[in-house]
Chain A
Amino acid sequence: MSAAHEPFAELAAGYALGALDPRDAAAFERHLAERCAECEESLRAYREALARVAADEREAPPPHVRAALLGRIAPAPPLRRSRPVRLVVAWAATAALAAGIAAVVTASAVGARYEARIAAIAREADALRAELAVQTRTVADLQRKVDEQDHALTMVRAESAEQARTLALLGDPATRVVTLAGAKPSPNAQGRMLWNPQAGGLFVAAALPPAPAGKIYELWAIAAGKPRAAGTFSVDPDGRGRVRVEPIAGVAAVDVFAVTLEPEPGGTSPTGEIYLASKEA
């Protein structure tokens, strides 16, 4: 082993592992290009050793990979890498002759150069493909974040629209405020109804007991002795609840608003006990 060779003997191990830093890798490749038999042999032996390490890790791949590959190669014969190279070489030689240029470059040298270029292009394409896979994932992540923000925005918009409706309701002279008082099961409960026969209304309740499982509070608008379902609501741990009420078709004046506890999901006529009720208007 020559002294000049020695540093490359060390680089060969790192090169076989693909672990050389770019400058060392380039230096070693230049050395290999000079056809150093010792390094070629070390590299060969190291690669066999690494293949044996890999053999300790064997793992069956998922079946779809095989199917995808066989599907991919079914239709046409494979594009031999060496064949287009030969075509390129033949073309280059023809072109050189046609132009009357002395063919100082041997076909094999041209071939080797194209081989190397094609290999380099293939490597770049692979790196780009890997990069693309990563970017595709990044894009998917960003898309998910955008979707989340979109959702949050929709919620904020809905809330804001709700507040705008409430303000409009309060500003309308036709709106009146109806107070509901707690009935027997919940004497401390309170309710307020902002009611506008054209625009509908907003009902809020406070200090109601939590609804038992399977039950829900339902608001009724009683007109001409007939109760109409005006919406259902649940209450938070402080007994607060709210429900937006749509205008009731064909009803000009509501006499009484009342809240009962009904089996979920609420019904079209009251069956349960009254928890809140307004005085007759």
Chain B
Amino acid sequence: MRSPGIDLIRRMAGGDRDGFAAFYDAYASLAFGVLRRMLPPEEAAEALQDVFWELWRAAGDYDPSRGSPEAWVTVRARSRGIDRVRSVRRREEVFVVAESADDASVDPSFEDRDTVRGALASLPEPQREVLELAYWKGLTQSEIAARLGQPLGTVKTRMRLGMDKLRGLIGVSS
């Protein structure tokens, strides 16, 4: 099934501002949901603006054979989210040595966002845990291994098993 997003991206590539507005209206909540999982509200809104600005500028490079508009948007949103999460973490390591890591992880703005929904919820706990730390916290495999006290190899295996299962669950065939 051809996504209506593809036509909108094509219009964006032609410099069509209304096409961009329609594209934004269709996909902003997708990108914002991802960013909100990773960042506090204000920062998520800033990142959202960066993401759509980039999408507008990169519309000419979009190739539908390489992924759906949903994936195009999600990849971009995750990448900007990860940049921000990681640079905040680096800064915190430098400046907030006195505070325990737990304090940082219980940011009140994340309180209502702990529910596990949809596809992730159906994964076995060890795989879900690894995927969530990567997806929402922007942790790398070795950071996840350190946090969970598990060998790196175990984390890599769980991540792959989880991703394969996810891919099967939601009917993305290859």
A and B bind: yes
Decide if B101 is an interface residue (CB 8 Å cutoff): no
Decide if A116 is an interface residue (CB 8 Å cutoff): no
One of A56-64, A167-175, A237-245 contacting the partner = A56-64
Known pairs A10-B156, A59-B33, A77-B15; A41 contacts B57 (CB<8 A): no
Is A133's CB under 8 angstroms from B17's CB? no
Decide if A88 is an interface residue (CB 8 Å cutoff): no
A111-143 interface code vs B (CB 8 A; 1 in, 0 out) = 000000000001000110111011100100000
Is B45's CB under 8 angstroms from A57's CB? no
Q: Which residues of B contact A50 (CB under 8 A)?
A: 71, 74-75, 78, 135, 166
Is A17's CB under 8 angstroms from B84's CB? no
Known pairs A21-B140, A49-B163, A61-B45; A66 contacts B61 (CB<8 A): no
Q: Which residues of A contact B29 (CB under 8 A)?
A: 58-61
Q: How extensive is the interface on chain A, given as a class?
A: 35 or more
Is A53's CB under 8 angstroms from B46's CB? no
Chain B residue nearest in CB terms to A18:
B82
Is A57's CB under 8 angstroms from B36's CB? yes
B65-81 interface code vs A (CB 8 A; 1 in, 0 out) = 01110110111011110
Is A79's CB under 8 angstroms from B57's CB? yes
Is B84's CB under 8 angstroms from A133's CB? yes
What total of A-B pairs shows CB separation below 8 Å?
Answer: 202
Interface size on B, residues (CB 8 A): 81
The B-contacting residues of A in range 3-50, CB under 8 angstroms, are 9-10, 13-14, 16-21, 24, 40-42, 44-50
Q: Which residues of A contact B144 (CB under 8 A)?
A: 19
Chain B residue nearest in CB terms to A132:
B87
Decide if B34 is an interface residue (CB 8 Å cutoff): yes
Is A56's CB under 8 angstroms from B120's CB? yes
Chain B residue nearest in CB terms to A16:
B163
| Closest 10 A/B residue pairs (Cβ) | A56-B118, A57-B33, A19-B134, A13-B163, A61-B32, A51-B74, A51-B70, A13-B160, A77-B15, A51-B71
Question: Which residues of B are interface residues toward A (Cβ below 8 A)?
Answer: 12-13, 15, 17, 20-21, 24-25, 28-34, 36-37, 41, 43-50, 52-54, 56-61, 66-68, 70-71, 73-75, 77-80, 82-84, 87-88, 91, 95, 117-120, 131, 134-135, 138-142, 144, 156-157, 159-160, 162-164, 166-167, 169-170, 172-174
Chosen A-B contacts, 7 in total, with CB atoms closer than 8 Å, are A44-B66, A48-B71, A50-B74, A51-B71, A56-B118, A65-B48, A126-B54
